[in-house]
Amino acid sequence: MRSEEDFIGKIDVPDNAYYGIFTVRADKNFKLSSSKVHMELIRAVILIKKCAALANMELQRLPKKEGDAIVQAAEEALAGKFDKEFILDAFQAGAGTPLHMNVNEVLANRAEEILGGELGKYRIIHPNNHVNMSQSSNNVVPSAVRIAAIKLSKPLIEEAKALQKSFEKKAAKYSKTIKIGRTHLQDAVPITYGQTFAAWASALEKDIRSLESSAKGLQELGIGGTAVGSGITAHPKFREKIIEFLNNDVKVVMAKDAIELTQNMNDLLEFSASMRRYASTISRIANDLRLLSSGPKAAIAEVILPEVEPGSSIMPGKLNPSVPEAVNMVSFQVVANDLAVMLGAQSGQLELNFCAPLIAHNIIQSEELLTNCNKMFAECIEGTKIDEKKTKENFDRTFGYATALNPYLGYSRVSKLVSEAYRMGVTLKELVVQKGIMSNEDLEQIIATANGPSEIDPKIKERIK
């Protein structure tokens, strides 16, 4: 062990550790969960450190030798060389100072080593004086949260679009497959499975636009605002320069008001809300698929989901809608995460929102969950089939297409026919044909166009008795 000292006192640090005294203290203080700070957030902080060193060198605040060593250390860390050095719990002290100092210490020690120094001595490179030059946890961590969220939003949106395409393909395949629509869980009017899948695809398209728009809102960074957003200790051109260097890796812009961004997390809240909206949509679709696949012998059973696993440890041959159920659970977690983000966003006080670690953890988890969920759900939809025979049997047994007869027979007459067919235990089509009111051919023609607007056929109307 080596001994390091801060203004609180001395503490032992493992000899070969690149982290230092601040990290050890934080690790002892905050053992709250099994979740570590996400590496995407750590990498975003490292990227900021690299760009800060480049900016400070260009502004002649940081000597080139020290700056180059920090840049090299940051590049090695971005390549994953020091992943095991980032040991802290995701739930930690406010504003994310521990995770920030963990990065500062690792980069400082590695830069010190590059320049011939010893780990933990900080005689050449200091975590605060050099690695953290012109920065503060209060603007580094929120900026890193935004960068991490932007990067993770790309695969999320890509997989969401793939899921949308899966629904669109099914819409084309089943464009002519008529089914009974259901409202209030009761038989309603005809609709096709093509229209059903197309409606689901349209809902996703709207939600994806919301995700894209809110992700774009994360591009504004308050980096360089230091402690409260005023920029104290930073070079007057530091904010402009670090944004310039960051743009070599991720598209960002300088905040118009860094003080506002130090206090206000609503851009992150809006992005979280867009994920909640998306989760609500896929959960609703999953609910529909579970209902439509129910049975297979004692319920609707029109949708055939892919067989992914046995459904029971005791009931032989049972298959469950496992993927839609998993979609539901992911969606519920995303909604819960959004609530945590909302509570965190509203908990900022005066010049700082201290909840950045909480907000980061929940947003990143939601992005990862939804990305993986989209991929799983798309595979499920690709393998989903419609049992067209069962769909037709269900359709023929219902009275839902009765509405299509209203323009020809009138609401009151159709209502009486429905009641009579129900009492007799026959289908409406059978009763109408038996009574000689309409031929089976004319009836089928009306039903075939009953899934949307249609003209009244005057010839059919003339033949009605």
The catalytic site residues sit at: 312
115 — phi, psi (to 5°)?
A: -90, 10
Give helix 356-382 / helix 137-173 axis angle, nearest 10°.
10
What percent of the chain is helix, strand and coil (3-state, nearest 5)? 60, 5, 30
As given in the structure block, the two tokens for residue 5 are 């000292």
**What amino acid occupies position 132?**
N
208, 204, 209: which is closest to 381 by C-alpha? 204
Question: Can you spell out the DSSP letters for 272-296?
Answer: HHHHHHHHHHHHHHHHHHHHHT--S
d(CA 340, CA 144): 19
